[in-house]
Structure 1
Amino acid sequence: MNLPAAVLWDMDGTLVDTEPYWMATEEAIAAEHGGTWTHEDAMQLVGNDLLVSGEYIRSKLGLTQSAEEVVEMLLDGVVDQVRHAVPWCAGARELLLALHGAGVPCGLVTMSYQRFVAPILEHLPPETFRVIVTGDMVDNGKPHPEAYLTAAAALGVDPADCVAVEDSPTGATSAAAAGCTVLVVPNHVPVPPGPGRVFRETLEGVTPQELGSLRRP
């Protein structure tokens, strides 16, 4: 059976559509501090390392808090929303469970922090993700390849034999730089074509075998 050695998943906008949660929290922080926050500002942050986002918000709104403190403010707001409802992306949970059933190891590679990931994982069977790499575990966030290289190494597989699933230019750049074939399912921001990128409009109907047939262009 033609299956990938492993599938490495981004989370926000790929597995779960939490980007609206982040955007709502960003707007709430701006309103609380008397600042202006635009849709364009929100789009600048999609897929970023959280500290990069925290610094952007701190600078844009003129906050006295550090970037690290802004990140904690963001996480407080988003985690509270996730605990009420997990907004799975179309076809994502089904594909993830199919991979689990087929014995294909999966890794989660996200720039979100562990305390945000935990309430989402509670809605999946144990060991659905054999490896979890979060933004607070790496020195270099996406678009640097460190997070994907770390996940592949932890799984004991060659990144070239892995498929990464991403939704943003930042994430796709990170995964391709690590050597993965990247299945790109754009969500809130457009993703340009590039080496190693294969595009689908949705994960609905995608099978483990289809992922195994993908090859870097």
Structure 2
Amino acid sequence: MNLIPVIPHIPAAVLWDMDGTLVDTEPYWMVAETELVASFGGEWTHADCMLIIGSGLWASAAILQDRGVDMDADAIVHWLTDRVQAQLTEHGVPWRPGARELLADLKDAGIPMALVTMSVERMARQVADLIDFAAFDTIIAGDMVTHGKPHPEAYLAAAAYLGVNPEHCVAVEDSIPGVTAAVAAGAVVIGVPHQIDLPESVHYTLWPSLAGRTVAGLTELFGERRRAFDRIHIPVQTGTTTNEGAATA
């Protein structure tokens, strides 16, 4: 495969998680999960909701089955997706602070973007279609991959579709499974925690919010992280020494 040439230290693409990062659909999922468990006489707690944030839907279905939902995994995924899509139709896209503005600025700057989500494709396309401009060059959804997050497959697939090296991409995530997947794919990762805190890590950068963030700021961060990575991995020449250390979040 021929990769698209990139300008040094400018991201070749930005890869966006959806639920909890770009749009605040997590409350919609919580409503759907609670209703489904209750319909089988069970109780679904806030702690249960937190347990499955960022996980693939089929992994979440297994947990719902353990809580008494007597349906096969595909049926659970279908039911939950229908219920969340109905809420999206009723209430619209609940943007996370600053997300739509940064998305639009990146589009105006001509930087390719992908939506990389563990929601199923039909829901991802509904969210994309509700945005008032054509934001994404591709969508990689949970039912389009064999392995969900925290496996890197979805991010690797998005980069491959765009024809770019994943190491030349920025990924934006809100969950531990999400940042784990993006880091494993080799991307420069920005963690924007929402429902669950993300721990400090040298492997990604934490932003408390996307509010006020700009293309220039994202590009600057990407350049800093790539330069740090390149310094660490440049072979030491004979007769020279280096004091370069690891990149910090």
Question: Could you say which TM-score interval applies, normalised by the shorter chain?
Answer: over 0.9
Matched, 1:72 2:78: yes
Q: TM-score scaled to structure 1, two decimals?
A: 0.95
Matched, 1:162 2:169: yes
| 1:176 match | 183
Count of aligned pairs between the two proteins: 216
Secondary structure of residue in 2 paired with 1:165: strand
Q: How many Å apart are 1:110 and its aligned residue?
A: 0.2
Structure 2 alignment gaps of length 5 or more = 1-6, 227-246
Paired with 1:59 and 1:23, the residues of 2 have a C-alpha distance of 17
RMSD, aligned α-carbons: 1.4
Instruction: Give the letter aligned to residue 203 of structure 1.
Output: L
Q: How many Å apart are 1:109 and its aligned residue?
A: 0.3
- Check whether the contact 2:37–2:67 (CA below 8 A) recurs between aligned residues: no
| 1:117 match | 124
- Check whether the contact 1:144–1:177 (CA below 8 A) recurs between aligned residues: yes
| 1:39 match | 46
Secondary structure of residue in 1 paired with 2:67: helix
Secondary structure of residue in 2 paired with 1:70: helix
Instruction: Give the letter aligned to residue 135 of structure 2.
Output: T
Paired with 2:129 and 2:138, the residues of 1 have a C-alpha distance of 15
Structure 1 residues 88-136: Cα deviation after superposition (integer angstroms, max 9, x where no partner): 1000011001000000000110000011112211222554100110000
Instruction: Give the letter aligned to residue 134 of structure 1.
Output: A
Spell out the pairing of 1:7-18 with structure 2 (5 A cutoff). Answer: 7-18=14-25
Instruction: Give the letter aligned to residue 73 of structure 2.
Output: A
Matched, 1:58 2:58: no
Matched, 1:96 2:71: no
| 1:107 match | 114
Paired with 2:217 and 2:169, the residues of 1 have a C-alpha distance of 13
- After TM superposition, the runs of 4+ consecutive aligned structure 1 residues lying more than 2 A away are 123-127, 193-196
| 1:206 match | 213
- Check whether the contact 2:128–2:134 (CA below 8 A) recurs between aligned residues: no
| 1:3 match | 10
| 1:148 match | 155
- Check whether the contact 1:176–1:197 (CA below 8 A) recurs between aligned residues: yes
Structure 1 residues 109-164: Cα deviation after superposition (integer angstroms, max 9, x where no partner): 00000111122112225541001100000000000000000001111111111110
Structure 1 alignment gaps of length 5 or more = none
Paired with 2:146 and 2:126, the residues of 1 have a C-alpha distance of 24
Paired with 1:59 and 1:172, the residues of 2 have a C-alpha distance of 26
- Check whether the contact 2:124–2:139 (CA below 8 A) recurs between aligned residues: no
- Check whether the contact 1:3–1:208 (CA below 8 A) recurs between aligned residues: no
Q: How many Å apart are 1:51 and its aligned residue?
A: 0.2
Paired with 1:79 and 1:49, the residues of 2 have a C-alpha distance of 17
| 2:242 match | none
Q: TM-score scaled to structure 2, two decimals?
A: 0.84
Paired with 2:159 and 2:200, the residues of 1 have a C-alpha distance of 24
Paired with 1:59 and 1:199, the residues of 2 have a C-alpha distance of 33
Secondary structure of residue in 2 paired with 1:122: helix
